[in-house]
Structure 1
């Protein structure tokens, strides 16, 4: 290649590099919000709609008034991925599932953390429950629940990034052998997976299978006998309890309101989040006109 050609190529490369400098895309609040919500049956959606007053009574029933413009996802992982890839998106997930790919907003002046959830400063929180039919205290189900509520079990809860409860006494291996099937909420699944791993280390003869679905399935499959233990990321409804289920709180979880990391905002009020999910504000500019 001749010297003149080499100089020309170098010059073109330099022009291309310089033309890219200082021209990064700027986040524009005039753009439409991509509203991301969970599917019907999700305990996270149920808790979110209740906490942000998105329900409206009609004909004696509470109806979820989440805007039909919302993009529906069927798991925590899909919600995180959707928001991470769309700079104008907003969504909600379990605090214990929060990672560095998205940004959690402060709500009503409080940032989400284990400390603010425990203190009540961050009020967007709900219990993680497991549900069971009546069981014998000598059964495999009872033994697993004893482990979850013990010092060892609640240490697992805390180390998994969730808010632990006041623990019962230390757990001692039962020496039981058998199999349990646990299933339900995908929000509870990450902490349950850790609890199962620790329990099986203490009880090598026990097999615990986990199926990640949703809270509604956690209830119905437990009632029908498909699950020994159901996972729900909300309170047990009175209508569900009347059918023979009992709930046990295993942890407390905050609901993180997440946006893309390029979003200029760091905080919203509860009223502003409600405004978005009711479809009353369709751009970020409309939300932030305070």
Structure 2
């Protein structure tokens, strides 16, 4: 039997000690530990982390960007406690009851609305309670709007919805439960506030807004800056629906705004030819503008 040269024997012994030490380190760090994790994670822990999907952002973990500069909303509705028409007040109260107890409802396709978020795209908590009402118009008939909402739209850019529609005859159609998030205003903000639910796109008011749309008169089915306006029955129904939401969610009158006002792209003009004085009179007679 040939003898092993002494220098080679020394090298083998040293390598064995290194290998044993490494195995000892691995065995020690792979052994389950109690209490807090050590400052030097084990190989097993690192492998486990690699297998896990990325964790959702923790609340407040990253700062959410605010909207770009945009004119603040100055409400045309004035504070007033005077009831100028008791007969109108009684009629409107009856309408409020009808809106709340026997509404006309339409079920729209799930692609056209979403859930309200309690966290934004950066992990920060946000209040999904409705705090804002945005007024719109349909441009085309109410039937066209309903057909759009009930049609599936897989592409994000085609998805749209409101919570309520008001026909020219004053009929109120509830399209979406207020607890859900309507896709009424894409790139939008209200008085410096929006919520980004997708970090890759702009923010919007949809997460804390309610959307209501008035059926446009026939002469308004175009892109002209104005039309003949909305009917008295529409203003009655609008006031009734607003009264229901304002009382239910504590929404102040100054948080009733327009699509034109919240749109950040400057592309929206609705609702055109809106008569704020007509709404002022009705909300005033309902006692909703008495701010002392």
For the superposition of Structure 1 and Structure 2, which TM-score range results when normalised by the shorter chain? under 0.3
Larger radius of gyration: 2
TM-score, with length taken from structure 1: 0.24
Query: Hey, which of these two has a bigger chunk of strand by percent?
Result: 1
